């Protein structure tokens, strides 16, 4: 029985490490801040779950297990809130998605509420419908 638990803990630890590596590589590969926020939150949170889950399987006693499970709970609670706040701060600072086909619902809601002036993005073509993300056919 102990060997099965050891193997499961090792697999979870390797999976958590792989997800953390994917998140770290994604931080350098993503084109804009919003994509980086996403890749820093999603796989990193799952990496913490796998890594702490492996530790839960290996530690003896109720007190360390409770502390580790509390760490996972806090990770689930704080990571989405932090990423949401980073995204809102980036948007408030005027940072827009790098992809011209990305839909900015927050900007549309702020414009409709009169909180901001309508913004014309000179660097990209006019927004297209979701059904045709590549824009009108020129030929």
List, for residues 87-137, the tens digit of each pLDDT value.
889 888 888 777 766 777 777 787 787 776 666 655 544 444 444 444 455
Q: Are residues 41 and 13 in the same domain?
A: yes
Q: Are residues 131 and 72 in the same domain?
A: no
Range of the domain at 106: 100-139
Greater model confidence, 14 or 133: 14
Q: Are residues 88 and 43 in the same domain?
A: yes
Greater model confidence, 110 or 86: 86
Q: Are residues 94 and 104 in the same domain?
A: no
Q: Are residues 36 and 63 in the same domain?
A: yes
User: Which of these three, 83, 98, 113, is where a domain ends?
Assistant: 98
What pLDDT does residue 128 have? 44
- Give the list of residues 6+ apart from residue 101 with CB closer than 8 angstroms, or none: 127, 128, 133, 134
Q: Are residues 46 and 58 in the same domain?
A: yes
Query: Which has the closest alpha carbon to 91: 115, 68, 122, 62?
Result: 115
- Give the list of residues 6+ apart from residue 118 with CB closer than 8 angstroms, or none: 111
Q: Are residues 90 and 116 in the same domain?
A: no
Q: Are residues 124 and 137 in the same domain?
A: yes
- pTM of full prediction above 0.75: no
Q: Are residues 64 and 122 in the same domain?
A: no
CA 6: distance to chain centroid?
30
Q: Are residues 61 and 125 in the same domain?
A: no
Q: Are residues 69 and 87 in the same domain?
A: yes
Number of structural domains, the chain? Answer: 2
Q: Are residues 59 and 10 in the same domain?
A: yes
Q: What separation in angstroms does the CA of 114 have from each of 46, 110, 117, 118?
A: 39, 6, 7, 9
The sign of the CA dihedral 55, 56, 59, 64 is: positive
């Amino acid at each position: 029985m102990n060997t099965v638990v050891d193997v499961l803990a090792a697999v979870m630890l390797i999976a958590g490490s792989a997800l953390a590596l994917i998140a770290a590589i994604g931080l350098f590969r993503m084109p804009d801040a919003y994509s980086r926020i996403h890749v820093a939150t999603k796989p990193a949170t799952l990496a913490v779950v796998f890594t702490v889950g492996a530790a839960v399987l290996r530690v003896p006693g109720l007190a360390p297990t409770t502390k580790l499970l509390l760490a996972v709970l806090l990770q689930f609670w704080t990571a989405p809130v932090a990423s949401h706040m980073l995204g809102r701060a980036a948007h408030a600072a005027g940072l827009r998605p790098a992809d011209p086909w990305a839909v900015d619902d927050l900007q549309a809601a702020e414009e409709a509420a009169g909180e901001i002036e309508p913004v014309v993005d000179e660097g990209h073509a006019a927004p297209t419908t979701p059904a045709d993300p590549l824009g009108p056919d020129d030929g």
